[in-house]
Amino acid sequence: MHRTSFVLKTLPFLIAVAIICGCLATVPAGVTPRVHERECVILVHGMMRSAVSMNGLDAFLRKRGYQTVNLDYPTTRDSIERIAEMYIAPAVSQCLEQRYEKIHFVTHSMGGLVVRRYLEGHAAEIPPGSRVVMLAPPNRGTEVADFFKDSSLYQSITGPAGQELGTSPENLPVDVKPVNLEVGVIAGNFSLNPFFSLIIPGDDDGTVSVERTKLEGMTDFLVVPRSHFFIMRDEAVMAQAVFFLENGKFAHPD
């Protein structure tokens, strides 16, 4: 009886500790989960991925009250401009029809370029206060695309969009105008691909250098020890994305 009584008395405390520890593991200091029923977040995956790669982030956002559109599109059939018009435009229209007060974007890799291309001609359609979070975007191209651009295998695998990811002035990342919204960029500096890292100068995530993720006019910038292919699945990164959507800045370590 004594042991049972002790467990019953301490159980609420143990549950509270578990909840607090869970929050600390996934949410930056100062972040309080809020409800955002009138805000829509469009998720845009990267090259050779699908909406499945953003499922974790989708669920994370929905738990915090956001309405989401986890966009799925073929990454290797069309140019980035055509992808933007064929897939981003209908997703934005879907959110506008629901009269959401804000339409945010959270992107991974090439998805950031797709959104940039769309916003270049449609920024005025996006409600005030909307924000963009880009995870590992090749905003200034990547040397990997430069290295492989003449390879027939690379061309067949990545399609027209793959030819637009280089660092030359004529490539799309360099050509697209800055985004006329608050943009937060999260770059990774941990590589799982040593061969690509030999091609890329400076710190990189195995696909894009930290320096080339930066975007002119971006509101905030954060570097995390994550790889390109898994950065969008990291809960600490997800929490930083939500923090930016709420505050227009990241929760930087002291």
Q: Report pLDDT digits (tens) over 131-174.
A: 999 999 999 999 999 999 999 999 999 999 999 999 988 787 66
Model confidence band, residue 59 (pLDDT cutoffs 50, 70, 90): very high
Asked if residue 12 belongs to a domain, the reply is no
The parent domain of residue 198 ranges over: 36-247
Are 173 and 164 contacting, i.e. CB atoms less than 8 angstroms apart?
yes
Asked if residue 3 belongs to a domain, the reply is no
Distance set, CA 148 to CA 55, 141, 161, 187, 251 (Å): 30, 13, 13, 22, 37
Cα distance between residue 83 and residue 173, in whole Å: 15
Cα distance between residue 105 and residue 97, in whole Å: 17
Pair of tokens at residue 86: 């064929």
Asked if residue 177 belongs to a domain, the reply is yes
Asked if residue 238 belongs to a domain, the reply is yes
Model confidence band, residue 218 (pLDDT cutoffs 50, 70, 90): very high
* Percent of the chain whose pLDDT exceeds 70: 85
CB within 8 Å of 153: residues ≥ 6 apart: none
Asked if residue 8 belongs to a domain, the reply is no
9 has a pLDDT exceeding 60: no
47 has a pLDDT exceeding 60: yes
The CATH number covering residue 68 comes to 3.40.50.1820
Asked if residue 28 belongs to a domain, the reply is no
Give the global pTM.
Answer: 0.85
Q: Quick one: CA dihedral 51, 199, 158, 114, positive or negative?
A: positive
Cα distance between residue 114 and residue 86, in whole Å: 11
Cα distance between residue 229 and residue 170, in whole Å: 26
Pair of tokens at residue 198: 């030999």
Pair of tokens at residue 159: 């399609």
Asked if residue 58 belongs to a domain, the reply is yes
**Closest-CA residue to 109 (of 86, 131, 88, 138):** 138
Which residues make beta-bridge pairs with 69?
A: 42
Cα distance between residue 223 and residue 90, in whole Å: 32
Overall domain count for the chain: 1
Asked if residue 216 belongs to a domain, the reply is yes
Place of tokens 């800055």: 178
